[in-house]
Structure 1
């Protein structure tokens, strides 16, 4: 299952993403965590030490390698340079799974804290004024477009803050989106904006209240987000200690917060997957990107990259080299 954690900056989305990931690992599930926020804090929240976190390879630095690998022998894609962040897979593309070994994972993914971890990389000094952060997040979208997650597996993405995900089709790449919301006007405003943008795309959004001090906080959230409110976290001594650098065993989290994480995981599983919709949305946003800027920038019609008969999913077959074939 592919899961996004979104919300206003400072709402606690990274904290909730890390807690969900650690609880899933403790329950025996394979987990692939990706930090796609411009502020790169997921590794630290997972308990990775500062020196190791600083040395993690950056997806944004390996975009050309990622494109070349995923392109495979797809005859619809003339070159890796012709791929953009929304390029969907087709017959001949290489597909990814969570547990496999491949050159992309060797270059960009590390096994830490009991899971696989990748980071986009934040803004570097050389990026300022000349680069867009979406070019870094594009690596995440490409990988999600080509990733077949199996039963009981979780891909957890700590997303960019606010509604930045709507700069592409990235917001549709998830089976469930958890929007972490403080009981404040600004925070519920982000939820309303996100829900409005996502309304036409059948995006499953659940709100998790955070930093709840009193019943009136819950009442405030219910008033503003209604039935989207899934649950909430009170102030946590466990989380406070973690934010000060002392990350304890996940089993030491307060029982009520552990129960929330378990219910959230159950909700994700009950929601199921719709691979046909996932693939159709990938095609939709690729066409939009092609028409809006891709065709003029690349000098070719990028919509020709779309393989209309290919549906990503467990029924997507591959040959011995991992190349996708139409079933």
Structure 2
């Protein structure tokens, strides 16, 4: 499953992304984690030291494009391949666990989690570039990535509703909105619900930094049935964020149970492969007409092969959920 963690800046989405990755890896699942936030902290949250930083994919887009386009006759060069270009016959498709030059080039292992990163916004970018240009690498990867049963791709997204400035918000099977029990926190939920209404986005809210039943009641009142589960304030998580040693065994039982609830929600999500491909093509056409045709001097609608389905038989439509841990983490 392709999973996004979104939320207001400071809500804890990077922390929960990392905890969920650790939870899955501890169960033996293959996990690909992608840091797509302008503040690149996912690697550190997964335990990487300051000197171990994944190479920035956003600074090597041509390299990524040249590999992914393969010998697709609809894409003659990297120069005419844009972030929304879909795969077709001859394109190179990626698997989560398979060997390929992109994983070898850009991936770093963090205790069983393969970590990729867009790269930070640099001083050279100030005043001349947009962070969304770096996010193009993530959109391309997700369009060319096949995940099979028991494999998870977890993306720590940009803060707020910024994901809607690109087609990335349609590339996920399940989106988790991390929400503090505050008015500002639930305001992001309203934005997501409004923007996602016409795109069949599967959205769940994860309450975070919960201190008492009043916090839970506030979130339930504001976001309704979207609220899946809540995570309480955690001393071990605070220790992790301060750089002190941390393992999942340090986490409170209620928060461990909440992670299991998140996994259960993912594992019972039904993937609509036709929707995924249809939206991929639609987003590409929108970008082609808005800017990409002019930028490349070509009609990029010709890059779409409407009959191509990238080995859809490898992609499960649904999974059987494991028994939930239930318990105190449930709301």
Alignment TM class, shorter chain as reference = over 0.9
Indicate conservation of the 8 Å contact 1:276/1:312, yes or no.
no
Q: Report the alpha carbon displacement of residue 313 of structure 1 after superposing the two structures with TM.
A: 4.3
Q: Trace 1:94-133 onto structure 2 (pairs within 5 A).
A: 94-133=92-131
Residues 79-88 or 266-275, more deviating: 266-275
Measure the CA separation in 2 of the matches of 1:313 and 1:207: 32
**How far apart, in 2, do the equivalents of 1:247 and 1:162 lie?**
30
- Corresponding residue of 2:269: 271
| Aligned match of 1:71 | 69
Q: 2:288 aligns with which of 290, 305, 313?
A: 290
Partner of 2:319: none
Instruction: Tell whether 2:162 aligns with 1:164.
Output: yes
Q: In the alignment, is residue 231 of structure 1 matched against residue 229 of structure 2? A: yes
Tell me the equivalent position of 1:19.
19
> What are structure 2's unaligned runs of at least 5 residues?
316-331
Aligned to 1:48: 48
Q: Over the residues paired in the alignment, what is the CA RMSD in angstroms?
A: 1.2
- CA contact 1:150–1:314 (8 Å) conserved in 2: no
Give me the whole-angstrom Cα distance separating, in 2, the residues matched to 1:90 and 1:220.
47
SS in 1 for 2:153: strand
CA distance in structure 2 between the aligned counterparts of 1:140 and 1:21, rounded to whole angstroms: 18
SS of the residue 1:233 aligns to: strand
SS at match of 1:231: strand
In the TM superposition, residue 315 of structure 1 has moved relative to its aligned partner by 2.6
> Do the aligned partners of 1:86 and 1:169 also contact (CA within 8 Å) in 2?
yes
Could you tell me how far 1:39 is from its partner in structure 2? 0.2
After the TM superposition, list the runs of 4 or more consecutive aligned residues in structure 1 that deviate by more than 4 angstroms.
none
Distance 2:245 2:313 in 1: 40
Contact 2:181 2:219 in 1 (8 A): yes
C-alpha change, 1:136 and 1:222, in structure 2 (3 Å) is same
Number of residue pairs matched by the alignment: 315
Give the deviation of 1:81 after TM superposition: 0.9
CA distance in 1: counterparts of 2:39 and 2:261, whole angstroms: 28
1:142-291 matched pairs, under 5 angstroms: 142-291=140-289
Q: Partner of 2:325 in structure 1?
A: none
Q: Secondary structure at the match of 2:60?
A: helix
Alignment of 1:287-326 (within 5 A): 287-315=285-313
Q: 1:63 to 1:271 in 2, by over 3 A?
A: same
TM-score, normalised with respect to structure 1: 0.94
Aligned to 2:83: 85
Following TM superposition, by how much is the alpha carbon of 1:236 offset from its aligned partner in structure 2, in angstroms? 0.4
Contact 2:229 2:261 in 1 (8 A): no
Q: In the aligned structure 2, how far is the partner of 1:9 from the partner of 1:264? A: 21
Instruction: Give deviations 1:156-179, integer Å, cap 9, x for gaps.
Output: 000000111111110011110000
- Distance of 1:94 and 1:310 partners within structure 2: 13
- TM-score under structure 2 length normalisation: 0.93
Give the gaps of 5 or more residues in structure 1.
Answer: 318-327
Indicate the residue corresponding to 1:2 in structure 2.
2
Deviation string, structure 1 residues 12-67 (Cα, Å, up to 9, x no partner)? 000000000000000110000000000000011111111113xx201112111100
- Aligned match of 1:322: none
Stretch deviating more after TM superposition (34-43 or 100-109)? 100-109
